[in-house]
C-alpha cells in the first residue's frame, strides 16, 4: 500500500534491443505503416471510383480497409516514438489506446463475420442475393458492427479505469494491452480478468462461429456444383476472405483466448507486432493479388493515369 499513488504516466518497456536494432526497427515499422495506409487508401479509392465494385462485397471490403488504417494508427505512431526513446504514455492516453485498439479489433471480427455471411448468400442463395443484401442492409450491418464493438469495449475499459495502479508503473509491452495493464493494479483483479477473458471469448468465438458455419454451408454448396469451372469460380470469391480470417483469428486466439497469457510476454510482443503492424498491410495485398475484379480496376486506373501522363508530356 505504500507504493500506491496517483498514477498519471506509464512506462512502456517496448523491446529490449540495442540502439542500432531499434533504429532498424524504426525504419522498418515506419515503412510498413506508410505502405499500409497507402494500400488501404488505394482500396477505398478503387471501390469508390469503379462502378463494377459497387457491390456489397466491396462495400464491406472498403469498410475493412478504412478500419485497418485507424487500427494500425492506434498502435504504430506510439510504437515509433517508443523506439525513438520516448517510452512514457499518460494514463488517459493509455486507456484511450486500449479502448480504440480493442474497439477497432472487435469491429474487424464483426465485419469479417458479415463478409462471410455475404459470401454465403452470394453462393448459396444467388437468386435472392441482390434483394437481401441491398444498400440499406449493408449500411445497417456495417453500422451495427461499429456501434456494437465500441459500446461493448467502453464498459470493459471503464471497469479498468476504476482500478488503482501502483509504482513502478512499467508496462512490459510496446502498447497498453490489457493483461500487462491489469498486473499493475494494487487491488485484486479477479473480476477484471474474468471479464476480459469472457469478452475475448464472446467477441472472437461468436464471430468465428458465424464465419465457420457460413463456410461449411458454402463448401457443401460448392461441392454440389457439377462443373469444375463453376466450383473454381465459387472458391475464388472466398479465397481472399478465408486467408484474412485464418491469419487474424490464428494470431488473436493464441494471444488472448488461452490460459496463462502472462507467461509468454516476448511471444505476445512478437505476435502483437504481426497483428498490429503486418496484418493491416497483408489484408489489401491479399485482396489485390487474389481478386480478379480488384486487379482489373487497378489496371484500369493505372492505364488512365499513364494515358493522362503521356498527354501532359506531349503538350
Predicted confidence band at 48 (pLDDT cuts at 50, 70, 90)? confident
Least confident of 151-165, 183-197, 229-243: 229-243
What pLDDT does 247 receive?
81
Those residues whose C-beta lies under 8 Å from the C-beta of residue 172, and which sit 6 or more positions away, are 13, 180, 265
Confidence of residue 19 (pLDDT cuts 50, 70, 90): confident
- Residue 181's pLDDT is 87
Residue 303 placed within a domain: no
Question: How much is the mean pLDDT over the chain?
Answer: 84
Residue 268 domain-assigned (yes or no): yes
pLDDT band at 105 (very low <50, low <70, confident <90, very high): very high
Q: How much of the chain exceeds pLDDT 90, in percent? A: 34
Q: ∠ CA(204), CA(210), CA(211), 5° rounding?
A: 85
Tell me: the pLDDT tens digits for 202-214? 888 889 899 989 8
Task: Name the grid cell of 238.
Answer: 472466398
| pLDDT higher than threshold 50 for residue 164 | yes
CATH number at residue 170: 1.20.1070.10
pTM of the model: 0.87
Residue 289 has pLDDT above 80, yes or no: no
Give residue 40's pLDDT: 93
Q: In this structure, is residue 294 part of a structural domain?
A: no
Which of 238, 157, 255, 156 has the alpha carbon at shortest distance from 204? 255
Range of the domain at 126: 9-289
**What does the pLDDT average to over 27-32?**
95
Give the model's pLDDT for residue 297. 72
Mean pLDDT, to the nearest integer, of 21-36? 94
Task: Say what the pLDDT of residue 5 is.
Answer: 47
Contact partners, residue 33, CB within 8 Å, separation at least 6: 72, 73, 76, 77, 80, 277
Is 305 domain-assigned?
A: no
Query: Which is more confident, 53 or 114?
Result: 114
Residues in the chain: 315
Structural domain count of the chain: 1
pLDDT at site 1: 40
- pLDDT over 60 (residue 49): yes
Residue 139's contacts (CB-CB under 8 Å, 6 or more residues apart) are: none
**304 part of a folded domain:** no
The grid coordinates of residue 165 equal 495502479
Confidence check: pLDDT of 189 > 50: yes
Give the helix ranges, DSSP H, for 1-134: 19-49, 56-83, 91-124, 126-132
Between 293 and 166, the more confident residue is 166
Q: What is the distance between the alpha carbons of residues 109 and 180, in angstroms, rounded to a whole number? A: 23
Question: Does residue 9 register a pLDDT over 70?
Answer: yes
Amino acid at each position: 500500500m505504500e507504493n500506491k499513488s496517483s498514477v498519471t504516466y506509464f512506462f512502456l518497456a517496448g523491446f529490449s534491443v540495442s540502439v542500432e536494432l531499434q533504429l532498424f526497427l524504426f525504419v522498418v515499422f515506419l515503412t510498413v505503416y506508410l505502405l499500409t495506409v497507402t494500400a488501404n487508401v488505394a482500396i477505398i479509392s478503387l471501390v469508390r471510383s469503379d462502378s463494377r465494385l459497387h457491390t456489397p462485397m466491396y462495400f464491406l471490403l472498403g469498410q475493412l480497409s478504412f478500419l485497418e488504417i485507424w487500427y494500425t494508427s492506434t498502435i504504430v505512431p506510439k510504437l515509433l516514438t517508443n523506439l525513438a526513446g520516448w517510452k512514457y504514455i499518460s494514463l488517459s492516453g493509455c486507456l484511450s489506446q486500449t479502448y480504440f485498439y480493442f474497439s477497432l479489433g472487435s469491429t474487424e471480427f464483426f465485419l469479417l463475420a458479415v463478409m462471410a455471411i455475404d459470401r454465403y448468400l452470394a453462393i448459396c442463395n444467388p437468386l435472392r442475393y441482390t434483394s437481401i443484401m441491398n444498400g440499406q442492409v449493408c449500411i445497417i450491418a456495417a453500422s451495427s458492427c461499429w456501434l456494437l464493438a465500441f459500446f461493448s469495449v467502453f464498459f470493459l475499459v471503464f471497469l479498468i479505469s476504476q482500478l488503482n495502479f501502483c509504482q513502478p508503473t512499467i508496462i512490459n509491452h510496446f502498447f497498453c494491452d490489457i493483461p500487462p495493464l491489469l498486473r499493475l493494479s494494487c487491488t485484486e483483479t479477479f473480476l477484471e480478468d474474468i471479464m476480459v477473458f469472457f469478452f475475448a471469448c464472446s467477441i472472437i468465438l461468436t464471430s468465428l462461429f458465424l464465419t465457420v458455419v457460413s463456410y461449411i454451408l458454402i463448401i457443401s454448396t460448392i461441392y454440389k456444383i457439377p462443373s469444375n469451372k463453376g466450383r473454381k469460380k465459387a472458391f475464388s470469391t472466398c479465397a481472399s476472405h478465408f486467408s484474412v480470417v485464418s491469419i487474424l483469428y490464428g494470431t488473436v486466439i493464441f494471444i488472448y483466448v488461452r490460459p496463462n497469457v502472462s507467461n509468454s510476454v516476448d511471444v505476445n510482443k512478437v505476435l502483437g507486432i504481426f497483428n498490429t503492424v503486418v496484418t493491416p498491410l497483408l489484408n489489401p495485398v491479399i485482396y489485390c493479388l487474389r481478386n480478379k475484379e480488384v486487379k482489373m480496376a487497378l489496371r484500369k486506373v493505372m492505364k488512365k493515369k499513364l494515358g493522362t501522363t503521356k498527354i501532359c508530356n506531349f503538350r
